[in-house]
Amino acid sequence: MTNFFETEIDRIFKTMSNSFFDVDDIFEEFKSNSNSGPLFYGYTMTVGPDGKPSVQEYGNAKPEHLPISNTREAIVDTIVDEKEKVVKLIAEMPGVEKTNVKVLVDKNVVDISAEHGEKKYHCKVPLQHKVDENSAKASYKNGVLEIVFKQAVEKQTSKKVEVE
């Protein structure tokens, strides 16, 4: 019974990976029809009453190939500590070394990238809170990157106007 499920799941994933699309082909197909609206594609995977998995595709774009990219997007979480007045970014990037991690901060956007052998990560994280870019401190341990920023002190921009 277990062997049946393994082969059936392998077959389903092969079908799904073969059914993804090449974006250029889809745009060429829909370029002539300007009333087509947004393009979307998805699938649902359920287990039928007979116990067999079932995959159903939906959408107005029929994919043919999976876009190939060897770069992964790091999983990033943002933590705001109002008590300590800091903003922390936690990024999971297993399989890379500390020396391979690059972090750039520019105008409240943090650009994180890392590459080690077959493992490549890249993501841009917009910061929703005002931070002091110069206060950034980063550490990397066991596949987890932690970047800590001090929150920027909001300067009062209001001005008292005397009425004459």
Main-chain dihedrals φ then ψ at residue 120, nearest 5 degrees: -135, 130
Considering the entire predicted model, what is its pTM? 0.55
Please spell the DSSP secondary structure of 110-150, one letter per residue.
EEEEEEETTEEEEEEEE-SS-EEEEEEEEEEETTEEEEEEE
What are the residue ranges spanned by the domains of the chain? Answer: 2-59, 75-151
Under 8 Å between Cβ of 107 and 120: no
Under 8 Å between Cβ of 100 and 116: yes
Each of the 164 residues of the chain gets a pLDDT tens digit; together they read 556 667 777 777 766 665 555 555 555 555 555 454 565 677 788 887 888 888 887 776 666 544 556 788 888 999 999 899 999 999 999 999 999 999 999 988 999 999 998 889 999 999 888 899 999 999 999 999 999 999 987 777 778 888 98
Under 8 Å between Cβ of 93 and 121: yes
Of 66, 96, 85, 92, the C-alpha closest to 145 is 92
Pick the CATH number of 75-151 from 2.60.120.330, 3.40.109.10, 1.20.120.1200, 2.60.40.790: 2.60.40.790
